[in-house]
């Protein structure tokens, strides 16, 4: 089986990661690589890491050509821009996996409030499926348009969802202290992202205003069956790839360590979610892999649960999860072309 | 005025930082450098950064010689070991600044419970003054034995103390998510601290069990006038020096941004505490300096206050604060020999 | 086709990398993992990155059991120790790929002079083939015992060999200024390799005495048809993986840019050697891949050639090259299970 | 004694470092801070590290005001731009220390050939003194206009000058393999200097074409009494501050280790040049200090000398050396306000 894949926005870091992952996928043939900034150049001029192993001319966007020549298209574009292009492709009958925030919201008005733009393809929002594979496998299998989740949100939703579903933590007072590597901010000329400004330093940003807050709240509210408001604080780690999130929640009375493990049993058959019964995850355990690892401890004095999750923002938090969604959409094994083993070094 | 200074445990990272700071202090003469591991060698063999500018033979410990030949002794030793030596020196009539955890507790039994050792000099605990300069200036000025605060604790106590004192945050539910550079773990052969295991990675550790929790609670309880229990989670940042702490607390009803600024006005005349009315502190703002910077934001949806503090664990969190204590003990200007300006690069 | 593989010394960084690579190789089944330090524990206790994807009990060494139950054994052991074990396994009839320096030398006395130990299996030295795949494919295809090349040496031999063979550079005066990431020093408790001692720093070491000098000289002498002595200076880069080498040589009179490209044409069909006609290689282009990239410039004022090579010390410089050797020994495609595409991020 | 100092171009990294150093100098009063990009803003808005300790409004350039109100002006501007402004200030009678490349050349045509611009103040070139303090103390003491040396050039000239002067190395075939931290590239929005593109990577650049080559050659030619051509290859280290250079030269026949030490005795009384008789310099030994450290080894097989130098590009390679020049120009102790002790951490 060969799946013809095109990638739009292929020269951002997520696009590059998608190409890299696609090349080792046994069923993918890359048909078009689209880059607005570098159209006409060869991929290897922008990313010499592909070297002599793989090269292809970067194209300007022509949705007709691409739709005709692809089984699925990944759009790795800025929000706002993405909706229109994904909708146009979807209209032409090709499956689309959109890696922006544009189709992640059940309610377009929540999107518009947090992203502060008007949604560019409202009539397509209803057919979009939220691509958190471990939660929505069946819907994804039938989807024509998948909204790939955000990186921070994956690291928050997967660990907290089962706890709320099992009704073992208090839905109020959840705090998510998140730390991400710099690649999460994308590929751009920026003083704030320069080496000299970020190395040997560390900072918090976007306090109480980061967009991913709303995406996390949407999914956790479903789990809890009530509206959830969380505190979400992102920080910028001086590393290239990886996210670690430290999550604080109050346990309901009488909840034991065993109850937590039971709640997490929902992930037992999920190849990319590893709940550690001993120890805590570190970013090196997941870097370069499509895995998310989850560890936890209970502060007995406060009856507070502390959950730590780690994932690679470019893989499980973006390109890898997109491939995983593709696998599900095309009836392949979920793990095809993806490694669950972190680089460690 | 010349103050004769000896440093015991001078080849750990805190000891080295003390020597470095002492060399640019206008009133310090270093009389003895004691190192158990390197006695007999020259300082420059262990730390070539001192190069041809300064060198001195490292000595084995002889408390009599040192007490006779010093106005003040800094002990930068492991807890447990430190108490006995500091007490012996104090008994010989020399002023002592102890950088271990041994004399930081009002109640020896709290120390013993958290450090899991028996205190080695209980009868000296009462004369020890907790050396948080901004809170206890008068007591420090008269002290013979000062217990220099911990690095994490400085970054938690200074930002939270005034908020509790002003009764504007809820004393329950305080969460301190702390991130420290690797030098905080000291100078040692350790796989977990090796470059290959820590670079491009990040982890939490010591969940719900870190000793500094109890030191933070002691001081915050005094501020609140009631027993405080906090959640404290340390993390290991892939940087050499610096700590950033993100602190979550619930505001009392009706508390405004202005109330917070008013509470922090207690630091207006404190040269090393910088409360930022705009922006947030980053580690590069304080690295290499004796400053702690504090910024904050209010999450209106939750009436939650998020405070961020940053300091250099080796300076304000250890050696610099020790020099600051010495300045106060000897009637010098608090800022003598210390820079409030971070390295940025 | 399934190849039964055992790895001895599997908990060092090279061993870990071998396991990681083996898991995505379509023809490998791992039968035994041997670790002296961790025998009896599970792999995932030492390396949680394998997580729930793969686990296996670590064993003590039993060469009989292993030889009976393996088609090929990788020994990733310290030099000196390795020779004996590899020889014993080879004697039992199993193919061996030895990743130490023990069997890399045509002349045992050169080995003994540079490694300052007595060779422990001299009578096996003659059957060992030097596993630089791009130079010795045919010999490797028939070999029973392969000596996998060193990391620094791969980055020096592959770029310089064709230039000497083509007789376009002066065999005298070759200077190799090499820079390696810290993982090259292996997994160990060591102050010099600790994060605090290596981060934000850089140093040269082993001037004029590093063992890899002799291995480079052996191979370059064959290319030149005369004895070659090189200057080789290793440096320690504050990165986890990757080597970059800057090589200086004087061009013979009249040699042009075209001549250099012609000399390098020997690599045209080699999938893992990428000679760049434009630009220079960077470590991020090859990290995580089995590729070596080679770029160059001519300093016209001096008629001097400057060649820059980059590779991943753990992959092309160790585990990946070992797998490549295995592929050749078993008649598989050279690229099986190995990616030529660097991580970039 | 109070010296009134103005800094033009104060918001680049060198400018910021000059302010930082000026603040701890006992004889400096900062009168004007000029920034084209940030005029009208407060310094602390651009560099919060100055915090509450020091602040000042950033001004647009008015050479008349500045000349009237300064004893010395530091110009930390791009080459090309700098010459005209420095000349104008010099014409108004104020002492100037120019940190650009504009006045470093005896021969304006060499400058124009390597910098590929026309010199903007040729008639001032003759009064400019090359500010390498250890070589030209007397001329600097009398100078009105000092050209502060480049960072790479300081790390090459100081170690090689005495060897050529003493006639113990071959003036041909000198190779300088230099590695610099990212701050050397200045403060700018640049993809190539972004964290994601430089961290965990390493590269060479500017092969055979870097401008500093010509500055090194000018000074070494004076030492040798003949024209010197060197190979100079810069590399980009993933660190913020620091330069290490590895220099290869052939020893003249019969030259011994003692001869080298004798040649370097010229630095015995120089407080910031540390020739190490044992060991090699590392960047952590000099970071944050105004010292340059020099170590060396002899490769007996090749009669080749390998010299390693380390310095902080922002201090001894820029702002610190500028302050040192000021000290000499104003008859102060050369070491005033400068530390020779590296940060280590």
Would the CB atoms of D344 and B20 count as touching at under 8 Å? yes
- Distance, in Å, from the CA atom of B238 to the CA atom of B195, rounded to the nearest integer, reads 9
> End-to-end CA distance of chain A, in Å?
34
Contacts of C189 in chain B (CB under 8 A): 189-191, 194
- Distance, in Å, from the CA atom of B277 to the CA atom of D57, rounded to the nearest integer, reads 18
As a whole number, mean pLDDT of residues B141-169 equals 98
Report which of D239, A239, A213 is spatially closest to residue B300, judged by C-alpha positions: A213
Q: Which residues pair with B37 in a beta bridge?
A: none
Q: Tell me if A175 sits within 8 A of A247, measured CB to CB.
A: yes
The chain B residue lying nearest D16, using CA atoms, is: B344
Q: How confident is the model at residue C157 (pLDDT cuts 50, 70, 90)?
A: very high
As a whole number, mean pLDDT of residues D247-268 equals 98
The chain D residue lying nearest B281, using CA atoms, is: D48
Instruction: State the chains in contact with B (3 or more Cβ–Cβ pairs under 8 Å).
Output: A, C, D
The chain D residue lying nearest B271, using CA atoms, is: D53
Distance from CA of C187 to the nearest CA of B (A): 7
Q: How confident is the model at residue A182 (pLDDT cuts 50, 70, 90)?
A: very high
Question: How many Cβ pairs closer than 8 A exist between chain A and B?
Answer: 131
For B195-248, what is each residue's pLDDT tens digit?
999 999 999 999 999 999 999 999 999 999 999 999 999 999 999 999 999 999
The one catalytic residue in A10, A133, A151, A266 is: A151
Place of tokens 């701050």: D183
Beta strand pairing status for C175-180 and C243-250? antiparallel
Q: Could you say which of C202, C246, C306 has the minimum Cβ distance to residue D237? A: C202
Question: Nearest 5°: CA angle at C244, between C243 and C247?
Answer: 135
* C-alpha A154, offset from chain centre: 6
Would the CB atoms of B239 and C199 count as touching at under 8 Å? yes
Distance from CA of D293 to the nearest CA of A (A): 23
Report which of C201, C194, C266 is spatially closest to residue C236, judged by C-alpha positions: C201
Question: Nearest 5°: CA angle at B140, between B136 and B261?
Answer: 25
Question: How many Cβ pairs closer than 8 A exist between chain C and D?
Answer: 131
For A105-127, what is each residue's pLDDT tens digit?
999 999 999 999 999 999 999 99
The chain C residue lying nearest D285, using CA atoms, is: C201
Distance from CA of A330 to the nearest CA of D (A): 33
> Is the CB of D6 inside 8 Å of chain A's CB atoms?
no
Q: Tell me if C158 sits within 8 A of C292, measured CB to CB.
A: yes
At D204 the three-state DSSP class reads strand
Would the CB atoms of A194 and D199 count as touching at under 8 Å? no
Q: Tell me if A124 sits within 8 A of A145, measured CB to CB.
A: yes
Contacts of C208 in chain D (CB under 8 A): 297-301, 304, 306
Contacts of A13 in chain D (CB under 8 A): 196
* C-alpha B330, offset from chain centre: 19
Q: How confident is the model at residue A51 (pLDDT cuts 50, 70, 90)?
A: confident
Residue-level pLDDT at B51 = 82
For B98-139, what is each residue's pLDDT tens digit?
999 999 999 999 999 999 999 999 999 999 999 999 999 999
- Distance, in Å, from the CA atom of C250 to the CA atom of C304, rounded to the nearest integer, reads 4
ipTM: 0.97
Contacts of D301 in chain C (CB under 8 A): 208, 229
As a whole number, mean pLDDT of residues B280-306 equals 98
Q: Identify the residue among B52, B273, B283 best suited for mutation to test binding to D, counting D beta carbons within 10 A and taking the highest.
A: B52
Report which of C156, C150, C34 is spatially closest to residue C88, judged by C-alpha positions: C34
- Distance, in Å, from the CA atom of B59 to the CA atom of B318, rounded to the nearest integer, reads 22
pLDDT over threshold 90, residue A167: yes
Q: Which helix (H) or strand (E) holds A126?
A: none
For A221-265, what is each residue's pLDDT tens digit?
999 999 999 999 999 999 999 999 999 999 999 999 999 999 999
Q: Which residues pair with C245 in a beta bridge?
A: C178, C309
- Distance, in Å, from the CA atom of C245 to the CA atom of C176, rounded to the nearest integer, reads 7
Distance from CA of A132 to the nearest CA of B (A): 25
Place of tokens 């907790």: B130
Would the CB atoms of B282 and A203 count as touching at under 8 Å? yes
Would the CB atoms of A194 and D200 count as touching at under 8 Å? no
Distance from CA of B296 to the nearest CA of A (A): 9
Q: Tell me if D185 sits within 8 A of D235, measured CB to CB.
A: no
Q: Tell me if B75 sits within 8 A of B85, measured CB to CB.
A: yes
For D122-152, what is each residue's pLDDT tens digit?
999 999 999 999 999 999 999 999 999 999 9
pLDDT over threshold 90, residue A310: yes
Would the CB atoms of C195 and B13 count as touching at under 8 Å? no
Alpha carbon separation from D340 to B31, B60, D307 (Å, rounded): 20, 27, 21
- Distance, in Å, from the CA atom of C205 to the CA atom of C221, rounded to the nearest integer, reads 25
Residue-level pLDDT at B317 = 98
Instruction: State the chains in contact with D (3 or more Cβ–Cβ pairs under 8 Å).
Output: A, B, C
In the structure encoding, which two tokens stand for residue A138, read together?
Answer: 């069946």
Distance from CA of D316 to the nearest CA of B (A): 14
Residue D68 contacts by C-beta under 8 Å, 6 or more apart in sequence? D92
Report which of D188, D186, D48, D20 is spatially closest to residue B282, judged by C-alpha positions: D48
Instruction: State the chains in contact with A (3 or more Cβ–Cβ pairs under 8 Å).
Output: B, C, D
For C90-143, what is each residue's pLDDT tens digit?
999 999 999 999 999 999 999 999 999 999 999 999 999 999 999 999 999 999
Helical packing angle, C13-23 and C320-329, nearest 10°: 50
- Distance, in Å, from the CA atom of B187 to the CA atom of C190, rounded to the nearest integer, reads 10
In the structure encoding, which two tokens stand for residue D149, read together?
Answer: 């040396």
For the CA atoms of chain C, what is the radius of gyration?
20
- Distance, in Å, from the CA atom of D186 to the CA atom of A152, rounded to the nearest integer, reads 32
Would the CB atoms of D196 and A188 count as touching at under 8 Å? no
Would the CB atoms of A233 and B246 count as touching at under 8 Å? yes
Q: Tell me if B36 sits within 8 A of B77, measured CB to CB.
A: no
Residue D98 contacts by C-beta under 8 Å, 6 or more apart in sequence? D75, D82, D83, D86, D128, D145, D146, D147, D148
* C-alpha C334, offset from chain centre: 16
Q: Identify the residue among C194, C200, C201, C203 best suited for mutation to test binding to B, counting B beta carbons within 10 A and taking the highest.
A: C194
Contacts of A196 in chain B (CB under 8 A): 345
Mean pLDDT of chain D: 97
Helical H segments across chain D, by residue range: 13-23, 43-46, 63-68, 81-91, 108-115, 133-142, 151-165, 195-198, 212-224, 257-264, 283-286, 320-329
Distance from CA of B222 to the nearest CA of A (A): 19
Distance from CA of A203 to the nearest CA of D (A): 13
Question: How many Cβ pairs closer than 8 A exist between chain A and C?
Answer: 103
Residue B91 contacts by C-beta under 8 Å, 6 or more apart in sequence? none
Q: Could you say which of A187, A200, A239 has the minimum Cβ distance to residue D240? A: A200
Cβ within 8 Å of B, A 240-279: 240-242, 244, 246, 248
Q: Which helix (H) or strand (E) holds A21?
A: helix A13-23
Would the CB atoms of B196 and C190 count as touching at under 8 Å? no
pLDDT over threshold 90, residue D83: yes
CB burial of A285-305 (b: ≥16 within 10 Å; e: otherwise) equals bbbbbbbbbbbbbbbeebebb
Residue-level pLDDT at D51 = 82
Label residue C154 exposed, middle or buried (CB < 10 Å: 0-12, 13-18, 19+).
Answer: buried
Q: Which residues pair with A33 in a beta bridge?
A: A7
Q: Tell me if C21 sits within 8 A of C36, measured CB to CB.
A: no
Would the CB atoms of A194 and D196 count as touching at under 8 Å? no
Residue D151 designated active-site: yes
Cβ within 8 Å of D, A 177-236: 182-183, 187-191, 193-196, 198-200
Would the CB atoms of B199 and C239 count as touching at under 8 Å? yes
Residue A256 contacts by C-beta under 8 Å, 6 or more apart in sequence? none
Would the CB atoms of A283 and B203 count as touching at under 8 Å? yes
In the structure encoding, which two tokens stand for residue A314, read together?
Answer: 């470019």
Beta strand pairing status for A145-147 and D145-147? unpaired
Contacts of D198 in chain A (CB under 8 A): 195
Half-sphere exposure of D96 (CA within 13 A, CB side): 32
Distance from CA of C240 to the nearest CA of A (A): 6
CB burial of D111-142 (b: ≥16 within 10 Å; e: otherwise) equals beebbeeebbbeebbeebbbbbbbbbeeebee
Judge if pTM exceeds 0.90.
yes
Beta strand pairing status for B175-180 and B243-250? antiparallel
Q: Which residues pair with B294 in a beta bridge?
A: B275, B309
Contacts of C345 in chain D (CB under 8 A): 196
At D300 the three-state DSSP class reads coil
> Is the CB of C111 inside 8 Å of chain A's CB atoms?
no
Would the CB atoms of C283 and D201 count as touching at under 8 Å? yes
> Is the CB of D17 inside 8 Å of chain B's CB atoms?
yes
DSSP string, D16-29: HHHHHHHHT-TTEE
pLDDT over threshold 90, residue C51: no
For C269-308, what is each residue's pLDDT tens digit?
999 999 999 999 999 999 999 999 999 999 999 999 999 9
Contacts of A21 in chain C (CB under 8 A): none
As a whole number, mean pLDDT of residues C208-230 equals 97
């Amino acid at each position: 089986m060969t799946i013809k894949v095109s990638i739009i926005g292929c020269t951002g870091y997520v696009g590059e990661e998608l190409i890299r992952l696609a090349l080792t996928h046994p069923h993918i043939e890359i048909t078009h690589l689209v880059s607005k900034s570098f159209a006409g150049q060869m991929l290897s001029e922008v990313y010499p890491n592909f070297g002599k192993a793989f090269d292809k001319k970067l194209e300007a966007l022509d949705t007709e050509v691409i739709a005709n020549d692809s089984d699925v298209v990944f759009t790795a574009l800025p929000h706002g821009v993405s909706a229109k292009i994904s909708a146009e492709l979807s209209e032409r009958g090709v499956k689309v996996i959109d890696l922006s925030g544009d189709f992640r919201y059940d309610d377009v008005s929540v999107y518009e409030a947090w992203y502060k733009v008007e949604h560019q393809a409202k009539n397509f929002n209803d057919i979009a499926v939220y691509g958190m594979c471990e939660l929505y496998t069946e819907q994804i299998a039938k989807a024509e348009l998948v909204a790939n989740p955000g990186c921070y949100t994956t690291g928050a939703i997967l660990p907290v969802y089962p706890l709320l579903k099992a009704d073992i933590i208090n839905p109020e007072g959840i705090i998510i202290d998140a730390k991400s590597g710099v690649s999460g901010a994308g590929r751009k000329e920026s003083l704030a992202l320069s080496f000299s400004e970020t190395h040997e330093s560390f900072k918090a940003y976007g306090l109480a205003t980061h967009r991913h807050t709303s995406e996390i709240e949407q999914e956790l509210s479903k789990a809890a069956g009530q509206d959830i408001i969380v505190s979400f604080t992102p920080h910028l780690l001086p590393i290239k790839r990886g996210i670690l999130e430290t999550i604080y929640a109050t346990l309901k009375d009488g909840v034991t360590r065993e109850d937590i493990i039971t709640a997490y049993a929902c992930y037992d058959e999920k190849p990319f979610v590893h709940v550690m019964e001993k120890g805590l995850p570190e970013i090196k355990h997941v870097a370069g892999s499509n895995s998310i690892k989850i560890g936890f401890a209970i502060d007995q004095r406060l009856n507070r649960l502390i959950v730590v999750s780690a994932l690679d923002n470019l893989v499980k938090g973006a390109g890898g999860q997109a491939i995983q969604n593709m696998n599900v959409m095309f009836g392949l094994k979920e793990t095809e072309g993806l490694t669950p083993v972190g680089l460690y070094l």
